Amino acid sequence: MEVITLNNGVEMPQLGFGVWQVPDGEAEKAVTTALETGYRSIDTAKLYYNEEGVGRAIRASGLPREELFVTTKLWNDEHEYDKALRAFDESMERLGLDVLDLYLIHWPVPSRGKYVDAWKALEKLYADGRVRAIGVSNFTIKTLQHLFEETGVVPAVNQIELHPQFPQKDLRDFHAEHGIATEAWSPLGQGQGLLDLPELAEIGAAHGKSPAQVVLRWHLQLGNVVIPKSVTPERIAENIDVFDFRLDDAEMAAIDALDNGRRLGPDPATFAWMG
């Protein structure tokens, strides 16, 4: 498995497994399949309500803890310093882990103005050795700059909506300039729509690969971390089988040209849902 070295030296698998919208009862099965198929990184969140199922799969796998990379996220109504520390403990309890690999602030919720407090709690957890790396999700250039100014600390990761139809070039360039790893959520554009485009089928045919594999390869060649989600065993296997081919410059450019500037998810500048 290819790895990305984060700005604190910690290595993170470049391809992992996302579990948003997988109910807790099904998460154990899906994550077990993913681990058996070779995935070593799992992306969950308090808000996904499946940390327990993820934890059960991790324990049942029998894999050494150091071979796994587990990410979870702090929810929007827990940005206060003490609440954030408590929320972390509760997530760890559900996951059944002592040390987490990556903890992210799920959304900045700028209208609440509390993400700097949340970040200070993450710094404390990092200093105490409870988590190996800390980062953010859905941060914009503006909220990242504000975080730098207030804390002087650069997050290891920013997990953002990113797929060929919404490639976030400016934010990716900003991350590269500041040593922040770009992690793509909804890397397959949530499946339908994007994966039906004939351009992707055509590129795939040239390599004997599916549209999903072409999209994941595009991400990997851009240097993104990707966390495709699937509950379908064949697709779970398909999505990790992307390390034996390479897209050339013309193919990368053809995929870049699919940009339509449209988000699938909410705008992080205004999103303030508390769940």
- Pick between residue 153 and residue 191 the one whose CB is nearest to ligand NDP: 191
- Pick between residue 23 and residue 113 the one whose CB is nearest to ligand NDP: 23
- Pick between residue 97 and residue 195 the one whose CB is nearest to ligand NDP: 195
Helices (H), 77-153: 81-95, 115-127, 141-151
Contact 87, 74 (CB under 8 A): yes
Q: Of 1, 12, 19, whose CA–CA distance to 236 is shortest?
A: 19
Q: Is 48 a known active-site residue? A: yes
Closest distance to ligand NDP from the beta carbon of 29 (Å) = 12
Closest distance to ligand NDP from the beta carbon of 226 (Å) = 8
Site residues, ligand NDP (CB under 6 A): 18-20, 43, 106, 137-138, 159, 185-191, 195, 210, 212, 227-232, 235, 238-239, 265
Contact 130, 100 (CB under 8 A): yes
Residue closest to ligand NDP (Cβ): 18
Catalytic residue among 48, 49, 81, 103: 48
Closest distance to ligand NDP from the beta carbon of 210 (Å) = 6
End-to-end CA distance of the chain: 35
Tokens coding 150:
């207030």
Q: Of 275, 204, 203, whose CA–CA distance to 241 is shortest?
A: 204
Closest distance to ligand NDP from the beta carbon of 264 (Å) = 8
Question: From CA 177, how far away is CA 171, in angstroms rounded?
Answer: 10
- Pick between residue 137 and residue 168 the one whose CB is nearest to ligand NDP: 137
Q: Which residues are catalytic?
A: 48
